[in-house]
Structure 1
Amino acid sequence: MRRASLTLLLFLAACQRAPANDGGADAGVPMSGLERAAIDSGAIADASRISPVGLYQHSHEAGRDALCVIPGKDGQYRFGLEAVFGEEPSCRGHGVARRAGDKLILSFKGGDRCIIVAQYDGDQVALPGVVDMACADLCEGRGTLEGVSFPRIANDAATALRARDRGGDPLCGVQ
């Protein structure tokens, strides 16, 4: 009985395989077989192959949240963002971004060194529910960037460059 159990255990261990991974931008993150099959069939897009360049915008009852991403130097991107929460509270900043798998790392220029690691799925950029205290300087009033998401509305640099903040200035202007 003991020998049969040991044989069965060894047989099951031999049948286990590591999840397939294509070695792309998410090489460190295992992809489920179902997710790989959905990408291979075209049912869902492979976010690691979709450029983040474009305009992301969400209008809501308190205002408008906008993020523009344009090509930069050395494989990085430039970005500008504004989140408006009514008449006074708002957040605004710009800087450089880089891809890391399904993440977009936003490094803001100016005073304190604010860095936000956002989730990027090809259709939207979502900021985490908690951001570094250094990012508080980007906001006025009781505004915060915590949990703000930006759905994509355009996937070209020209549209991103035409985007304006609520004051009429270019959102992704010369930085």
Structure 2
Amino acid sequence: MRRTSLAILFLLAGCQRAPTGSDAAASDSAPTSGLERAAIDSGAIADAARISPVGLYQHSHEAGRDALCVMPGKDGQFRFGLEAVFGEEPNCRGHGTARRAGDKLILSFKGGDRCIVVAQYDGDQVALPGVVDMACAGLCEGRGSLEGVSFPRIASDAATALRARDRSGDPLCEAQ
């Protein structure tokens, strides 16, 4: 019985194939369902892994405005600046470098606390997770938090991102 089970296990292991060609490229990014892959292949939906995150993302609401600018950087990375406003006083503000990882945008904030946020990126929006590292608390004043903040895309060019201003009129993304 034990030898039979072992033989079946080896047969099943031998049936698995290593990804090749386009399968290998797809396995490097986030896993997609067969239906999603078919929709991407047919052009019905965009492949977020191929859409540059450069641009301006902004959301206005009754308590203020949340804005994120993403600019081209060095060595395949990006630069970003963001501000999330939650009324008169509470807000979060920071800048740093970003890099792509499949359908994720990894935001590494500059500063002493080493805040890193892994945001969801679908080509049209950047959404921060519902829980962020405690090291990110230093980016916020009052009771503000980056948790769950989302930024819908409003422009796909670096020039618009460069013109973005925070609520005090200072550049959100600085020229380099």
Bin of the TM-score, shorter chain as denominator length = 0.7 to 0.9
| 1:7 corresponding residue in structure 2 | none
| 1:43 corresponding residue in structure 2 | 44
Between the aligned partners of 1:24 and 1:137, the Cα distance in structure 2 is 38
After superposition, what is the alpha-carbon deviation per residue over 1:121-165, rounded to whole angstroms, capped at 9, x for unaligned? 000000000000000000000000000000000000000000000
* Identity, % of aligned positions: 84
CA RMSD of aligned residues (A): 2.0
- 1:59 maps onto 2:32 in alignment: no
Which sections of structure 2, spanning at least 5 residues, go unmatched?
1-11
| 2:155 corresponding residue in structure 1 | 154
The answer to whether the 8 A contact 1:108-1:115 is kept is yes
| 1:137 corresponding residue in structure 2 | 138
Between the aligned partners of 1:149 and 1:167, the Cα distance in structure 2 is 21
Between the aligned partners of 1:25 and 1:161, the Cα distance in structure 2 is 33
Matched residue type, 2:57:
Y
The answer to whether the 8 A contact 1:95-1:107 is kept is yes
| 1:117 corresponding residue in structure 2 | 118
**Aligned-pair distance for 1:41?**
1.2
Decide whether aligned partners of structure 1 residues 26 and 86 sit closer, same or farther in structure 2, where only a CA change above 3 A counts: farther
Decide whether aligned partners of structure 1 residues 62 and 38 sit closer, same or farther in structure 2, where only a CA change above 3 A counts: same
The answer to whether the 8 A contact 2:29-2:49 is kept is no
Count how many residue pairs are aligned between Structure 1 and Structure 2.
Answer: 161
- 1:169 maps onto 2:136 in alignment: no
Between the aligned partners of 2:75 and 2:173, the Cα distance in structure 1 is 18
Between the aligned partners of 2:164 and 2:50, the Cα distance in structure 1 is 24
| 2:90 corresponding residue in structure 1 | 89
Between the aligned partners of 2:143 and 2:27, the Cα distance in structure 1 is 36
Which sections of structure 1, spanning at least 5 residues, go unmatched?
1-12
Q: TM-score, normalised by structure 1?
A: 0.86
Decide whether aligned partners of structure 1 residues 83 and 156 sit closer, same or farther in structure 2, where only a CA change above 3 A counts: same
